[in-house]
Structures are given as C-alpha cells and as structure tokens.
Structure 1
Amino acid sequence: MDFVIDVEGLGRSGPLVPASILGTNLEMGKYTDGLLLSERLDNPKFFGPEGVNGLAPGWQPMSNHYAGVQYRLVPGLGLNGSEAQTIVVYAKAANGAMVQTGRNVKAGERLVAEIWAMAKHQPFELEISLRPLQIRQPEYVTARVRVETSYWKKYTAELECPVGDPEAVFVVSVAGPGFACFDQIHLRPAAEPSLDRELIEMIGSLRLPVLRFPGGCTSTAYHWRLGTGEAHHRPVCHDPVNKSRLEYEFGIGEYLEMCCAQGIQPFLTLNIGTGTPEEAGEWADYCRDWYVRRGLELPDIYFQMGNEQYGRWELSHMDAEMYIRALRDFVPQVRSGYPKAFIVALAEPISVGVWQPDTKWRETLLREGRDLFDVASINRYKGQLYADPQQQIDNAADSAAKIGDDLRALIRDCREAGSQAQVALTEWNYWISASHWDGRGFYESDDASHGLFYAGLIQELARLAPHLAVANFYHLINVMGMIRKDGGEVAETSISRLYRLYRPAFPGVLLPISAEANGEEKSGADREEQGEPVIVAGELVSGRLDAFAVQGGGSLWLFVSNRSVTCSANVHLRIDSSSWRSAVLMSADYAGSPLTEITAPSASDRIELPPLSLLRIEYDG
C-alpha cells in the first residue's frame, strides 16, 4: 500500500511532551527483589520455613544420608531475631555440608564469601568451596575459616575460580565435631560488594526519567524503614502479597542514591494497607532529610496513595468512601514531611464490591477528594490471544488506542468535575502469557505484538500532552521486563531497545501530521473534545500504519510503523530530505519474533517499510 505523510507543524508551537511518559516500575517483590544485587546465592539470610532436611529453602545437604550430623533452622536465633541455620556434627570423622547448585561463576573472577557465624561449645573449622556438579570431579577452589566466637561475627574468604561454570556448586562444610550457627552467607564479586555493577550501568545508560518504587501490589506490605541501615541488619520478612519472602537489601537509600546518580525523578508508592499515615509521613520526612544532608536541592517526588485498592485482589481493598478517608489521613502527613510532594490518587471508575455493590470510585474521588491530590492515575493491562498473527498485531494496536481512550475519559471527567489535575498511567503492559503458576517468573514473550504495542502506546501517550504527567511501563527487570537477568547474565529485550529509540525525542514539542492512503486524504485534524490537546500528532493513517512526529533536543523526530504481517508499505515523506540526519529501522522476521535493528534506508523522500517494522528518522530541528 502507498502512503503520503506530511509533517505540518514546523514552526508551530504545540504542547510539550515530557520525558516522564517513558517512566517504568521497579517492584521489590517475588522474582525481582534480589536482582539488583551482586549476590550469587539464593536465600542468603536463611529465611524459612525449615524443610524436611532441616535446611532453609534454597539450600540442601550434600548427602541425604546423615552420619552424625543434624541440620536445624532455629527461629529467633538470628542476628536480628530471625531464623538461624545450625549444623551440629556429632562424630569426629563426620562432616556437615550444605550446598547451592546452579551458581554462575566466570573464569578468573574473584568472589568473596561473607559468613556471619558463631560457634557453640567450641571453635570449629569451616571449609568454603566452589566445585563442578559432577561429584567425582575435584573442587575448583577452596578456602578455610576458623570460627572461634560464641557471638555473631563476620568472616570472609576469597575464592578465585579458574574456570567459568554456569552450573557451579557452592559448598559450606563444617568439620566435626562442632556446633555451627549461621545467620547469613553471601557470595559476591570482590569488586561489587552490594549492587550488580553491570545491571546498574545498563539501567543508567537508559536515562530513565521516572522510576516507581517499591512497585504496585507489593507496596501494601512494604515497610520502608526496614530497608535502611546496614544491609546485614535488614530483615527478610513474609510477603503476604506474593506469598514469598520480602527482602530489603535494596532499600530506600539505595533507591534514592540511584535516582540521584542517574537523574531519575523518584516516584514512591505508599503503603496504604499494612502501613499507617504516620509511617508514610516519616517516609516523606526521611526523603527530605536524605537530600538536605547531602546539600542537594529537593526534587519533585511523586507520592502515590496506594496501588489498586479499588480491586478485591489487593491486600487492602476498600470502597470509595474508605479511600477518601485514607487520603484525608495520609496526604497531610506526606505534604508536611516533603514540601515538594506531588500526590497521585487512584482514579479508576469503580471499586469492585465484595458482599456489597460496586462503588463509584472516581465520581466519589472527584466530588469529595478533589483538593487532596495533584495527579489522577489509572493502571492498564491489555491483551488477547489470537491464533492468526495479523489479528494478534491488530489487537496490540487496538489495545494501545483503548488505553488512550481511557485516559481521555479520565481527563474529561476531571475537567467536568472542576479539577485541573493532570493524569497518570502508573502501570501498563501487553499481558498475554504471564502467570503466577507457570514457573517462569511472570514472563512475557519478547515478540512483535509486544514491541508494536509498546511503540503504539508511547505515541498514544504523547498525544495526550499536556494533560498526561507520567506513565510507567511495567516492568524494568525480568517480570514483563525491559531487561532480563537470568543466571547472573544481564541482557536487554526489544522493549529496552525500543525505549532507546524514543528516549532522545523527549521532552519534545508535539507536531501535527497529515497523511494520504491510496490517494484518499486522511488528515490529522485537530480534536476539540474536552480533555484532548488541540494539536494532535500522528493520526492513525490506516489500521496498519501509524505515524508520529515530535521536535526536541535540536532535532525533528519522525516515527513510522508498519503493522502489516505480510505487506510492505511505500511511504512518500513530504519533508526536505536534505535535512535528514540519521535513521534507525527495527523489524521482526515474523509475528512471534522480536523487533531487531536492521539496515535502515538512506536519506530520501520515498521509503519502503518492511512488514512488522518501526522506522525512526532524525531531521535537522
């Protein structure tokens, strides 16, 4: 099919699209809370319950046949009043060993084992080693430590593995006789005492504008103060949301440090559930003091009042009137604690009823709580599975448009109620396959439908300027994530690469586009409906082609996507090709494959877009 695209807005002043539409989420719950760390072990603090073998989850005995050895996980014995792992070796010739398999080590890598241990009755000898999975093979490297105190003390041992092995076995062995107690055991690269340097550097290279923390549903069980102080004193807690453990090794201090170092605007989800208004106010106060102590100017911080309390799946589900009461209790505390707080309120249309009818959440919020917030937010996940590839791609495009319509409805409702609040999309993704029970860690496929949905929604969000304050993709790492960390290896997905494609264009001024398809004029006419910007960029040319333009960073950026599974699109660009600076083209081989970068066209006013593709052209601005 042939198309003509004309960027009409050169020299005109359209609305400014903020970079904050490219925000993302960091959920500190199951599958994700340890990913930012350099830690190579699972459950290093021996969080229970005790298994039938007497060991904490993630650990196993080296042999199932105990000869003069007993393992017990003892509640209350730990450094912080939590569990401690004990190994009692009764016989002089016996040996009590616990292991973790599948530990990824690299050749020549220097690792440090940090062991918080104490001896009961008498000192004991401790052997720490890395070995291959095959039992008859010799150890790669071994270190020895003598534990001599009957109180908790940190011991360290350095291990340099001569070979790389993604399936290496980490072994902690107590030579008998002896009574050994362990509060925590860590294994980290010597140069990375806490955070995963490669992952943090990759996140930094993204130049994230906004990062929501500690996430969504997890926030209803998250107590920020537990993530402060020295890391070895931070507890591991039961997570009633995800039915797992909730760790605090990456806490509020590490989060603010990363935000400060990488130029990220903080976005905090408050615990309206197991928390209190006082706890929220103290969190806001902590944030203020954190910046003041460092002599830094206070940034604007988004404080979201809960996550999805309108939904019966949420730990602290409530009706509309209950939420208004929560706002009246929480908001003054937060505003008092942090003077540059932007309050984000939940603004879904209804609260789903349990034992009572649904309540009109948004209507109640705008009637009774209009003065309690600055931003009204919704969360949206779309997606429906089709066997036909073209139907799947079309559904992705339709889903992006529907989310845009939902946000326009929210803007309209706010204006009709007399509120000038901006709106937000605090979680969004294309949800096709992720589940809590499939054993894949809430994984979404990296394919063309997800990629074109991402591109389509970014463009849809940009068209909502200046009414949209912030939008946060779900999620940054692993869970539906932009970045994958598997077995210690860090890799980007196509979503991350698409993000990089859009990032240089924002903040930018929205430009209108007109287009013709098959000779029939289809104009990017201004929309007059309340709540929509007057200047609109990138009207949908057809169900299979989308175009979008923005001016920012000294350049004009044109994005054109072809959503057809089988047909190329011939596009005539009515813009001076002599101002063409560069082009990047991403395309998928088929609907089930990801968008990857391929050879882009050279400067021209006529281009051919392959099926399932997205082209970004940078012109002189």
Structure 2
Amino acid sequence: MRKVTIKTKGAQKEMNPLIFGHFVEFMRDCIDEGMWSQLLKNRGFDKRKDIPAGVVDGNPNVAEGWVRTGCKNAFEITLDAKESIARDGYAQHIVCYNDYDGYVGIAQENLVLEQKEYDGYIWLKAREETRVLLLIRDGQGRELFSREFSAETNWKKYSFAFCPDRACREAVFEIRLPGEGEIWLDGASLMPSDRRAGIWREVYEHIEALKPPVIRYPGGCFADCYHFADGIGAIDERPYRRNRHWGGYTDNSFGTDEFLALCEKLGCEPMICINFGSGTPQEAANWVEYCNGSADTAYGKMRAQNGHPEPYHVKYWDLGNEIFGEWEIGHSSSEDYSRRYMEFYRQMKEKDDTIVFMVCGGEGDCRSQDWNRMVKQVIGDHMDVLCLHMYALKSMEGKRFRNEDIYYAVAGSVKKYEEILQESWHVMNDGTEKQKLLAVTEYNLGTIIDSYREQTLEAAIFNAGMLNMFLRNAEKLLLCNYSDLVNGWPGGCIVSRDGHAFGTASYYALKLYAESDLGTILEIETDSPVYDTEEQIGNIEPLSAVPVVDAAAGINSAGEQIYFVVNRSLEEEAEICLPHMDCQEDGSSLAEVTTLYAPKTSDMNSWEEQNIYPQVTTLALPDRKVCLKPHSVNRIRILKKQEM
C-alpha cells in the first residue's frame, strides 16, 4: 500500500465554477438525434435521394428518408423547389389524377414510439380544398393514430397530438392523399410532449444533473462552416445544409435562439464560437448584434420578431477553432490569423464593447509556444483570453503498446498539460499590463474515433486529473469545456439513443466535481510516490516524475473541506493522510467518501449494464487516514461537527 500525505499550505483562491463547462457541436448525433427530440429525419423534404448509377428501384422524386406508399390510383410525385416554405429547399408534391378507390402517399418508417404523449404538425397546401389523411401505425400495420385534415389553397400548419396505446420500435408515419387532388407537403414534425426546451427529457435531466456553468456552441470544427442566419427565424423556414466538415446534414432546427433558450433554462452561460474560417467580420458582428443588440438595431429587431425582445447578453465569444490545423476550414498561419482577427475584433466590438474576446491559441497538445507568441505580438491587448485544446493520446500510429503502458501515459499526461498551461500563461502575460486569462475550450481522452476507449474508467481517471489541474490553476483560467456533452464522437459523457440516456464513467467524474458546491480552492501539497514512462505513445512523449496520487481541495458553501483524489496506480491501494479537520469529542473525524471504481480500467457503462457509478461510504477517521482503491477517482467530504 502506498502512503501519501496531503498538507494544506494556507493560501486560498476564489473558486471559478466555469472550469466545469461543456461543449456541444453539430457532429454526428450530438445535437440532432442525441439532444434535439425530433423523431422525423429530413422533415422538410429538403434533401433529395442520392440514387447510385445502375440502381433502378430508387425514386429521386421522393425525399431522402421517406418512401412512397399507396396502390391503384394514378399519380405523380415530385420535389418542388418553387413551393418550399424553407429557404433553398423543396416541398413534396403529390398529384392523384385518377382515384380507383386507392390512395397515394409518403411515409417514414422505423420510428421508435413509447406509450406517452406526442405532438406534431404538417404544413399543407392544395390546388383546391383537398382531404389529407395522417396515419401512424406500428410495425405490423396496426393503427396507433389517425387524423384527417382539409388542406386549403394557402400554406397552413395542421397540428395534432396523440398517445399510442402501446410502445413499438418500427412505427410508420404516413401522409396519404386518399382521392383525386393535388397537394404540397412541408415541415413535418413529431416530438415527445415531455421534452425540455426541445431536448429529450431524459437527456435534459442528465445535463441538468451536471450543473453546467457554461456551454460552448456550435463547434468545434463545424463552427468554421456555420452561418448563424441559417439557424434563426421561423423554424420550418430554415434551410437544410450540408455539414462541410463532419459530413451529413442539419435542418438547423437547433439554432441560436434554441441554444440560448436551453442555456436560460439550465441557468448557465452561453459561449459562442463564431465562423472565422469561412465567415466574414460583418457576419460575426451581425451575430453579436442579434444576441446582444437592442430591439432598435437591425439584428436586435430581428431577434425581437423571433420571440425574444430583450438582449441575451452573451459574454463569451470564441474567434476561430483550431485555425492552426490543416484539417480546419480557413486554416492559416499564426500571423495571418492574428491580422485577420483584428478585422473581426473591430467590427464585433462596435456592436458590443463589453464582450469577452477569446483567441484561438496554438495546438494545446504541443509544447511549442510559437503560435501564441505571434498572437501576443500582433493582437496584443485586443484580446481577453487565449484558448487551448487538450486531447490525450489521439492516435497510436499503428504501433502496438501494452495496455498498462498506454494507461500510465494517458493518466500521467495531465502533468504535461499542466506544464503547457503554465508556459502558455507566462508567454501571454510576460511584460504586459493587461492580464490575459486562458481557457481550455476542449479537452478529453481523445483517442481514435469509434474506439470507445473514451467511455472507460481510464478516461474518467484522466479527466478527473484534468479537473484537479484546473482547480490548482484556477486563477489562470476563465473557463474549460469538456468535449462532448452528448454523443457526437464516443467521447460524449452522456450517451443518448431514441430519447434514453446513460452516463459514462467520465460523466460521473464530472458530476462528482460539479455538484460539490465549491466556494474556495485550497492550496495543498501532495507528498506522493512518482513514476516515469519510457515511450512516445500517440502525442504523449515520455514522462518523468508523475505523481501516483493526484489531488486538489476546496471548501464548499457550508464550510466543509473537500478533497478530490485520483489514485493512478493500477494495482496498489493508497493510504491518504489528510490535514487537521473538524473532530468529534474522541478526536476522530467523520468523512463521506464517494468513489468511482471498477475492477479494470477498460470497464465502461453500457445500455445493458452500469458498471461505474458513485459509491458512497461514511467513515470514521480516528487518525485522519483514508484508504483508496487502486485506479480510482475519489471525493472526500469532511463532515462538520453538527453532521456527525
């Protein structure tokens, strides 16, 4: 058993809760499907089917994700760009020339429905007043719901609500033209009625439990191909756009107002990453005005017309994401970035001179400070915060390593990141009058996409170490964002599917810290054994003198001391000797110890089994010593005398 002593140094720092922040991006199923509770795909009929050469049974005149239904009637189905209610989109056009007691329609299949309330609508228009039938059936064709509408000659939204009498995983949503006529369909919607700010209820509850103080949006790499005007205004009139960075499409249902409404409901600060890569300074300034301008400005008036008369007062604005990287849209040198940044700065500041300007820093996984020095030289005091991204491991370049060696490199890489953080701080604040803060706007284990290593206990141990590092350096940091909040890539701390959700090991580690209600950070000294690593693994070079036990500490609003302790050892327990604390009459202390542990660091939670979750014990500590499991994350709360 390893013995470790923790000593308080007397100094205290003010707690900064923004270091427990999060990040969402239009990447895969992070926002669409993962968060936003829309059941229908391509609900505006705006994406045509891609029919490969030689395929004869595809129908390019039926929108992607939909199928033609019906029999007997003579009909024609087309996609009509002239009649679409969405910008740059299509309406689904259906004509029945001859009714032979049949019908023609379109349907979306394989929807997952539960026995609860749903609401939805469909936009309809007809050449002349025409009957239209909406049907929802289970996978065996049995009716769950039906409603008949009389389509009129102008576009009109027809709403409905229902509760199926049974759950099914292969439901069919069908719109039929049951007789002769000509209609156009657009903007269909089907969502659960128990959603929260448009988010799946269960997913929202998981987010809420994390107490996110700040959320970054809409990217990430996606930010540098996103045009905010696509995501404002009437939701069914927004365009369907290709995701130029990650692939796929988004219908822009979750735009600026929806994101800010979610932040308001959660009580957290929004952080917006502007389109620096393919956007313009004017576009960025317009976005600032839309969010923060008064209702008598051009874009403030637009916001008011969209339902929010008062300004949102968004403080934090991130100017460019990973512009240093060749993978990024708008990639440039540090000098070119810095000079172009000044154009954005001037126009955005004219719209609101109170916002916090956050600058793209150099690659946070690299020790070089060349990018940051150029940013400081060119931009100078026309910035407030330098942003870094920190992803341990990333890839292993095809070389095989022992799992034990990978684990110790990953867990120990926090030491490397702490050194990079401190060096970045010194570079940005050397010889300057205006203090510049740092932000770690993305961090996580970050292995090869789809490895799912990011969901293991190993990842939670790394991320808990990062949180300890943030606490130790809180005076240097404005905020930090865990990447990602939901799905996206396997690093999402919340896993969501069909409206259900579970937390990964990192989710529970993040929650352990965020719910602790810290008000003050204690400066501590940890006397721990150390270890070295010998090989370069991914982007983690050989490390020396990595503490086996890593710790941070604080005091909560109730005046209780809280210690966060990570035991990195794979096999050995750690005996922690804590500083002096509140005692009972017999001299012993009482502590609540919450632990994240599993037999193996490769263990992870899944839909079938929740292997890693907080386990709470209350211990008497007559000699101020606590024994911690190997490879574990721990929170030790010293109970005040009145709780004993």
Same fold (TM over 0.5): yes
How many residues get paired? Answer: 583
Which of 155, 159, 162 is the aligned partner of 1:159? 162
After TM superposition, the structure 1 = structure 2 runs for residues 427-466 of structure 1, keeping only pairs within 5 Å, are 427-434=442-449, 445-466=454-475
Per-residue CA deviation, residues 272-304 of structure 1 (Å, 9 max, x unaligned), is: 133221221122122223799889797561111
State the distance in 2 between where 1:67 and 1:390 align: 67
User: Judging changes above 3 Å, is the alpha-carbon distance between structure 1 residues 563 and 67 closer, same or farther for their aligned structure 2 residues?
Assistant: farther
| Matched residue, 2:362 | 348
Task: Give the superposition deviation at 1:315.
Answer: 1.3
Counterpart CA distance in 2 for 1:557 and 1:297 is 38
Distance 1:68 1:193, change over 3 A: farther
Provide the alpha-carbon RMSD of the alignment: 3.2
Task: State the alpha-carbon separation in 1 of the partners of residues 281 and 518 from structure 2.
Answer: 35
- Does 2:122 align with 1:104? no
From 566, 569, 575, give the equivalent of 1:561: 566
With over 3 angstroms needed to count, the CA separation of the structure-2 counterparts of 1:552 and 1:340, relative to structure 1, is farther
Q: Hey, what's the Cα distance between the residues in 1 that align with 2:67 and 2:269?
A: 42
Identity of aligned residues (%): 24
Q: State the shift of 1:164 in Å.
A: 1.2
Partner of 1:259: 263
Task: Mark the CA change 1:564 to 1:172 in structure 2 (over 3 Å): closer, same or farther.
Answer: farther
Contact 1:69 1:90 in 2 (8 A): yes
Does the alignment pair 1:83 with 2:100?
Answer: no
The structure-2 alpha-carbon separation of the partners of 1:146 and 1:349, relative to structure 1 and needing over 3 Å to count, comes to: closer
In 1, are the aligned partners of 2:42 and 2:65 still within 8 Å (CA)?
yes
Q: Structure 1 residues 138, 256: closer, same or farther in 2, change over 3 A?
A: closer
Closer, same or farther: CA 342–176 of 1 in aligned 2, 3 Å: same
- Is 1:598 matched up with 2:598? no
Q: Which residue of 1 aligns with 2:145?
A: 142
Q: Which residue of 2 aligns with 1:338?
A: 352
Q: 1:273 to 1:401 in 2, by over 3 A?
A: same
One-letter amino acid of the structure 2 residue matched with residue 592 of structure 1? S
Partner AA of 1:423 in structure 2: L
Report the Cα offset of residue 194 of structure 1.
6.3
Shift of 1:7: 2.9
Question: Deviation at 1:405?
Answer: 2.0
Q: Partners in 1 of 2:220 and 2:237 — Cα distance? A: 25
Q: Provide Cα deviations, 1:523-569, integer angstroms capped at 9, x if missing partner.
A: xxxxxxxxxxxxxxxxx996432222122322211112222333322
Provide closer, same or farther for how the CA distance between residues 457 and 190 of structure 1 changes in structure 2, counting only shifts above 3 A. Answer: closer
Aligned to 1:5: 5
Q: Does the 8 Å CA contact 1:69/1:87 hold for their aligned counterparts?
A: yes
Which residue pairs with 1:220 in the alignment? 224
SS in 1 for 2:381: helix
Please give the secondary structure, in 1, of the residue aligned with 2:11.
coil
Is 1:499 the counterpart of 2:510 in the alignment? yes
Q: Which of 388, 404, 416 is 1:378 aligned to? A: 388
Question: SS of 1:603's equivalent?
Answer: strand
1:362 matched to 2:372? The reply is yes
Gaps of 5+ in 1: 353-357, 436-441, 523-539
Partners of 1:222 and 1:209 in 2: how far apart?
24
* Aligned mate of 1:245, from 246, 249, 252: 249
State whether residues 38 and 190 of structure 2, in contact with CA within 8 Å, keep that contact through their aligned partners in structure 1.
Answer: yes
Secondary structure in 1 aligned to 2:259?
helix
Aligned-pair distance for 1:53?
A: 2.0
SS of aligned partner of 1:367: helix
Q: Which moved more, 1:28-37 or 1:426-435?
A: 28-37
Work out whether residues 133 and 176 of structure 2, in 8 Å CA contact, stay in contact via their aligned partners in 1: yes
Tell me, in whole angstroms, the C-alpha distance in 1 between the residues paired with 2:575 and 2:69: 64
| SS of residue matched to 2:570 | coil
Tell me the distance in 2 between the aligned counterparts of 1:319 and 1:517.
Answer: 42
> What SS does the aligned partner of 2:30 have?
coil
Match of 1:120 among 127, 151, 154: 127
Unaligned runs of 5+ in 2: 51-57, 532-543, 584-588, 605-611
Q: CA deviation at 1:241?
A: 2.1
1:511 to 499, 502, 522: 522
Normalised by the length of structure 1, the TM-score is: 0.85
Q: Which residue of 1 aligns with 2:41?
A: 42
Shift in Å, 1:324: 2.2
Cα shift at 1:334: 1.6
Q: Is residue 48–residue 57 contact of structure 1 (8 Å, CA) maintained in 2? A: yes
Asked if structure 2 preserves the Cα contact closer than 8 Å seen for 1:349 and 1:362, the reply is no
* Equivalence map 1:532-543=2 (5 Å): 543=547
Q: Classify the secondary structure of the residue corresponding to 1:162.
A: coil
Tell me the CA shift for residue 119 of structure 1.
Answer: 2.2
CA shift in 2, pair 1:73/1:364, >3 Å: same
Distance 2:114 2:590 in 1: 45
CA contact (8 A) 2:319 2:358 kept: yes
Q: Which residue of 1 aligns with 2:53?
A: none
Relative to structure 1, the CA distance from residue 111 to residue 620 in structure 2 (aligned partners, 3 Å threshold; closer, same or farther) is closer
Q: State the distance in 2 between where 1:270 and 1:278 align.
A: 11
Residue number in structure 2 paired with 1:535: none
Q: Deviations over 1:461-499 (max 9, x none)?
A: 222231121111111111221222202213222222211
Secondary structure of 2:619's match? Answer: coil
Q: 2:554 and 2:110 mapped to 1: Cα distance?
A: 47
Q: Distance in 1 between matches of 2:526 and 2:411?
A: 18
* Bigger shift: residues 421-430 or 295-304: 295-304
Change (3 A) 1:60 1:172: same
2:293 is paired with a residue whose SS is helix
1:203-352 to 2 correspondences below 5 Å: 203-289=207-293, 301-348=315-362
The 8 Å contact of residues 517 and 541 in structure 1, kept in 2 or not, is answered as no
Is 1:33 the counterpart of 2:40? The answer is no
Pair 1:130 & 2:128 matched = no
Q: What is the CA–CA distance in structure 2 between the aligned matches of 1:444 and 1:49, rounded to whole Å? A: 36
Q: For the Cα contact (< 8 Å) 1:300–1:340, is it kept in 2?
A: no
Measure, in 1, the Cα distance between the counterparts of 2:205 and 2:196.
15
Residues 256, 515 of structure 1: alpha-carbon distance in 2 compared, 3 angstrom cutoff:
closer
Distance across 2 between alignment mates of 1:279 and 1:162 = 49
Equivalent in the alignment of 2:549: 545
Structure 2 CA distance, aligned partners of 1:180 and 1:4? 75
**Equivalents in 2 of 1:193, 1:453: separation in Å?**
32
CA contact 2:524–2:553 (8 Å) conserved in 1: yes
Q: Secondary structure at the match of 1:8?
A: strand
* Cα 1:427–1:246 shift into 2, 3 Å: same
2:418 counterpart residue number: 404
Q: Alpha carbons of 1:374 and 1:388: their partners in 2 closer, same or farther (altered >3 Å)?
A: same
**C-alpha separation between the residues in 1 aligned to 2:49 and 2:591?**
62
**What is the rounded CA distance, in whole Å, between the counterparts of 2:194 and 2:128 in structure 1?**
36
Check if 1:175 corresponds to 2:173: no
Q: Does the CA-based 8 Å contact 1:235-1:248 persist in structure 2?
A: yes
Q: 1:181 to 1:408 in 2, by over 3 A?
A: same
Shift of 1:4: 3.1
2:441 aligns with 426
Shift of 1:213: 1.3
**1:177 deviation in Å?**
3.2
Q: Secondary structure of the residue that 1:339 maps to in structure 2?
A: coil
Pair 1:515–1:367, CA change in 2 (3 A): closer
Give the stretch that moved more between structures: 230-239 or 334-343: 230-239
Mapped to 2, the partners of 1:101 and 1:68 lie a distance apart of 23
Deviations 1:587-615 (A, max 9, x none): 11212213322353523233322222112
CA distance in 2 between partners of 1:459 and 1:139 (Å): 55
Matches within 5 A, 1:188-203: 188-192=191-195, 195-196=198-199, 198=201, 199-203=203-207
**Structure 1 contact 235–247 (Cα < 8 Å) conserved:** yes
Tell whether the 8 Å contact from 1:366 to 1:417 is kept in structure 2 after alignment.
Answer: no
Change (3 A) 1:401 1:172: farther
Q: Which moved more, 1:178-187 or 1:468-477?
A: 178-187
